Structure 1
Amino acid sequence: MTDLFWPGDHLAGDLMSDEAFLAAMIAVERAWLGCLVDAGIAPADARADLSVADGDAEEIARRADVDGNPVSALVAILRDRSDPTAARWLHRGLTSQDVLDTALIICVRDVLIRVGVECAAQIRALADLAERHRGAPALARTLTQAALPATMGAKIARWLDGVLDAAEPLADLRMSLPVQVGGAVGTLAATTELAGSVDGALALGDALADELILAPTTPWHTTRSPVTRIGDALVTCCDAWGHIAADVATGSRPEVGELAEGSGGGSSTMPHKHNPVRSVLIRRAALTAGPFGATLHIASAASVDERSDGAWHAEWATLRALARRTVVAAAHMSDLVSGLRVDEARAAANLAAADGLLAEQRTMSELTGRTTLPDYTGAADRLVEATLDRARRFLEESS
């Protein structure tokens, strides 16, 4: 995919594309048909690979306008092009929401895998940077102003903590992504009729989850926490990356000069510039991710009856945009931290030039009556070590 409105979109490849979504919907229909056959409900010759609809995304998209979602159009095409036995049993017991929700979850799983890989790369790079610049003197700033002495290692460790906070839940989330099987109103009524019993209907849902490598669960038609959890995880990643990007952009200003991107961008009219383009593009994603997450929560709160009239529909494109933009930001952040340059000499010079930094230390000394310590960086080194230990554990557990 390409998107002139969102430079870097190509880095997300086919993730959450129309083609990927179509393939996932077909996979759900194929797997369900196989489950009906395996359960002895449908005859053996009803099994089909359903590849007859591959490449029909544009046609399905146009026809989706009739019923408000692409599943009806897909099922019509599949039935028209499949043999009579497969066509007869296709989609029986499912509803459009079952197919669409489960397909969305399949697409999101691929996104979470990619983001997880990028986060692991970032954690390695940031841990290396924090170790390398662990004791380098630097100026800590609060509310944009000079505050106290610190170290570059402490700053980078805070970045690392943010990425770890985002990365750690991703694996658990990926393993708990739920299948959606509920039928027309989430009661499995049609499936119960097909299977001949409630136990048989529930077993079919579990079998579909196993086939698609998803978590079995009860229907969540209008309980949209599975979607909002995904959105929250992606937004949390963008939040962490936005913090790093903002610090790098500020630190790369010529008057600060403590940080620099390994491969900055140029200007169409000012050849002297070395723009922090990765930071700019990451901040763009961070600034827009939150509203996407908010839209998913608003849609969840607006759920009504057994299938929402618009709130459900608002999720699909929102989740796709958030997911693809998160993947792009993840790739940009991996590139940024792997090539980031830290100017220790400039950081030390900025610290030396700041006035009034030891006023707090003098106050503490007067209170305690003890001799002041030489650098006034407190537990910074111990805190860096704690973060590095956390990063090592994460990388060992995820390898």
Structure 2
Amino acid sequence: MTDLFWPGDHLAGDLMSDEAFLAAMVAVEQAWLGCLVDAGIAPPDARAELSTSEGDAEAIARRADVDGNPVSALVAILRDRSEPATARWLHRGLTSQDVLDTAIVVCVRDVLIRVGVECAAQVRALADLAERHRGTEALARTLTQAALPSTLGAKVARWLDGVLDAAEPLAALRTSLPVQIGGAVGTLAATTELAGSVDGALALSDALADELVLAPTLPWHTTRSPITRIGDALVTCCDAWGHIAADVATGSRPELGELAEGSGGGSSTMPHKNNPVRSVLIRRAALTAGPLGATLHAASAGSVDERSDGAWHAEWATLRTLARRTVVAAAHTSELVTGLRIDESRVAANLAAADGLLSEQRAMAELTGRPPLSDYAGAADRFVEATLSRARRFLEESS
């Protein structure tokens, strides 16, 4: 996919694309049909390989507004192309929400895998930078102004902590993504009728989860926390990356000159410029991720009855947009931190030029009556080591 309105969208490849979503819906229908046959509910000749053809996504999309979602149009196409026994049993016991929610979860899993890989690359790169510069004295700034002496290692460690805060929950989330099978109103009524018992219906739901490598769970229908948890995880990633990008963009200003992207971007009219394009595009994602996550929460809060009248529908494109933008920002951040250049001479010059940096230290010495310490970096190095230890554990566990 490409998107002229979102430079870099191609980096997300087919993740959460129409084609990926269509394939996931077909996979859900295929797996459910197999579960019915395996359970002895549908006859053996009902088993079949379901597939779609080129142009089906367009046709289904155009017909989706008839019923308000793409599942009905998909099922109609699959039945038209199937043998009678398959057509008779296809989709039986399911409702459109079962197929759509489960397919979205299947698509999201691929997104979380990709983001997890990028996070691991970022952790390695940032840990290396923090280690190399843990003793590099640098100026710390608060409210845009010179504040105290610190180290570059401490700054990078804060970036690393943010990435770890985002990355650590991803693996657990990826392995707990839930199947959604509830039938028309979330009670498994039709499936119970097909299976002949509640236990049989629950066994079918668990079998589908196993087939799709998802977590078995009770129907979540209008309890939308599985979706908001996904959104929150993606937003947290973008938050962490946005912090890094903002610091790099600021540090790359010519008047500071402490940081630079490995390969900046040019200008259409000013050839002297070396724009921090990766940082700009990452910040773009960070600024828009939160509102997308908020839309998912608003949809969750707007859930009503046993299937929402609009709130459910608002999730699909919102989550797709948030997911693809997160993947793009992940790739850009990996490129940024692995290629980041640090001008230690400018770092030292900016620190030396700042006035009044030890006024706080002198005030503390006066209070205690002790002579000032030779180094006023406080516990910065201890904090860097704690973050590096955390990073090492993360990389060991994720390898």
* Contact 1:64 1:73 (8 Å CA) reproduced: yes
SS in 2 for 1:149: strand
> Match for 1:31: what amino acid?
A
SS in 1 for 2:206: helix
**Structure 2 vs 1, CA of residues 185 and 53 (structure 1 numbering), >3 Å: closer, same or farther?**
farther
Q: CA deviation at 1:49?
A: 1.2
1:167 aligned onto 2:167: yes
Q: How far, CA to CA, are the matches of 2:307 and 2:280 in structure 1?
A: 40
Q: CA deviation at 1:54?
A: 5.9
Q: How far, CA to CA, are the matches of 1:49 and 1:31 in structure 2?
A: 10
Residues 43-192 of structure 1 mapped to structure 2, 5 A cutoff? 43-53=43-53, 55-192=55-192
Q: CA deviation at 1:7?
A: 0.1
Q: How far, CA to CA, are the matches of 1:364 and 1:195 in structure 2?
A: 76
> Match for 1:398: what amino acid?
S
Q: Which residue of 2 aligns with 1:259?
A: 259
| Residue deviations 1:344-367 (CA, integer Å, cap 9, x gap) | 111111011000111110111011
1:351 aligned onto 2:379: no
* TM-score, normalising length: structure 2: 0.99
Q: How far, CA to CA, are the matches of 1:237 and 1:93 in structure 2?
A: 38
Q: Which residue of 1 aligns with 2:302?
A: 302
Q: CA deviation at 1:194?
A: 0.2
Q: CA deviation at 1:55?
A: 4.5
* Contact 1:149 1:375 (8 Å CA) reproduced: no
1:321 aligned onto 2:328: no
* Contact 1:140 1:148 (8 Å CA) reproduced: yes
Q: Which residue of 1 aligns with 2:237?
A: 237
> Match for 2:304: what amino acid?
V
> Match for 1:255: what amino acid?
E
Q: How far, CA to CA, are the matches of 2:152 and 2:215 in structure 1?
A: 43
Q: CA deviation at 1:53?
A: 4.8
Q: How far, CA to CA, are the matches of 2:225 and 2:318 in structure 1?
A: 15
Residues 273-288 of structure 1 mapped to structure 2, 5 A cutoff? 273-288=273-288
1:342 aligned onto 2:342: yes
**Structure 2 vs 1, CA of residues 54 and 196 (structure 1 numbering), >3 Å: closer, same or farther?**
farther
Q: How far, CA to CA, are the matches of 1:45 and 1:104 in structure 2?
A: 29
Residues 14-33 of structure 1 mapped to structure 2, 5 A cutoff? 14-33=14-33
Q: Which residue of 1 aligns with 2:333?
A: 333
> Match for 1:244: what amino acid?
I
* Contact 1:252 1:259 (8 Å CA) reproduced: yes
Q: How far, CA to CA, are the matches of 2:52 and 2:274 in structure 1?
A: 51
> Match for 2:202: what amino acid?
L
> Match for 1:107: what amino acid?
C
SS in 2 for 1:4: coil
1:206 aligned onto 2:206: yes
Q: How far, CA to CA, are the matches of 1:95 and 1:55 in structure 2?
A: 24
| Residue deviations 1:101-158 (CA, integer Å, cap 9, x gap) | 0000000000000000000000000000111111101000000000000000000000
Q: How far, CA to CA, are the matches of 2:53 and 2:199 in structure 1?
A: 33
> Match for 2:99: what amino acid?
V
Q: Which residue of 1 aligns with 2:382?
A: 382
Q: How far, CA to CA, are the matches of 1:113 and 1:85 in structure 2?
A: 37
Q: Which residue of 2 aligns with 1:363?
A: 363
> Match for 1:373: what amino acid?
L
Moved over 2 A (4+): 52-55
SS in 2 for 1:51: coil
* Contact 1:206 1:216 (8 Å CA) reproduced: yes
Q: How far, CA to CA, are the matches of 1:118 and 1:52 in structure 2?
A: 32
Instruction: Note the residue ranges of structure 2 that are not aligned, 5 or more in a row.
Output: none
> Match for 1:35: what amino acid?
C
Q: How far, CA to CA, are the matches of 1:117 and 1:310 in structure 2?
A: 34
Q: How far, CA to CA, are the matches of 2:310 and 2:73 in structure 1?
A: 19
Q: How far, CA to CA, are the matches of 1:194 and 1:54 in structure 2?
A: 34
SS in 1 for 2:275: coil
Q: CA deviation at 1:375?
A: 2.4
Q: How far, CA to CA, are the matches of 1:358 and 1:71 in structure 2?
A: 66
> Match for 2:85: what amino acid?
T
Q: Which residue of 2 aligns with 1:4?
A: 4
Q: How far, CA to CA, are the matches of 1:329 and 1:54 in structure 2?
A: 30
| Residue deviations 1:297-323 (CA, integer Å, cap 9, x gap) | 000000000000000000000000000
Q: CA deviation at 1:291?
A: 0.3
Q: CA deviation at 1:174?
A: 0.2
Q: CA deviation at 1:275?
A: 0.3
Q: How far, CA to CA, are the matches of 1:160 and 1:196 in structure 2?
A: 54
> Match for 2:394: what amino acid?
F
* Contact 1:53 1:74 (8 Å CA) reproduced: no
Instruction: Note the residue ranges of structure 1 that are not aligned, 5 or more in a row.
Output: none
Q: CA deviation at 1:52?
A: 3.9
Q: Which residue of 2 aligns with 1:393?
A: 393
Q: How far, CA to CA, are the matches of 2:55 and 2:388 in structure 1?
A: 48
Q: How far, CA to CA, are the matches of 1:96 and 1:309 in structure 2?
A: 14
Q: How far, CA to CA, are the matches of 1:117 and 1:392 in structure 2?
A: 15
% identical aligned pairs: 88
| Residue deviations 1:223-257 (CA, integer Å, cap 9, x gap) | 00000000000000000000000000000000000
Q: Which residue of 2 aligns with 1:40?
A: 40
